[in-house]
Structure 1
């Protein structure tokens, strides 16, 4: 499992617009305008466009 990091304020805004709760997700990669996220509890991965 990748080591997730806390989200910045700007990244939290992107997550809220995508309909996700920012308290439940950690970021493990930020490449080319995509946020690669991992769920805190379940370990599920998700990719979201940051634009």
Structure 2
């Protein structure tokens, strides 16, 4: 994962930070994008990889 994040951030010039947390499928289904609460998720942009 770290290699992928480094490749995505290459040349951007901004710091890249990440963290991980294991969740059950139900926890993820109930909160797929933590930290984006209150944001209109229909127009939100984020990238995820597993």
Q: Calculate the TM-score normalised by the size of structure 2.
A: 0.24
Structure with higher Rg: it is: 2
Point out which structure has higher relative CO (alpha carbons under 8 A, 6+ apart).
2
Q: Calculate the TM-score normalised by the size of structure 1.
A: 0.24
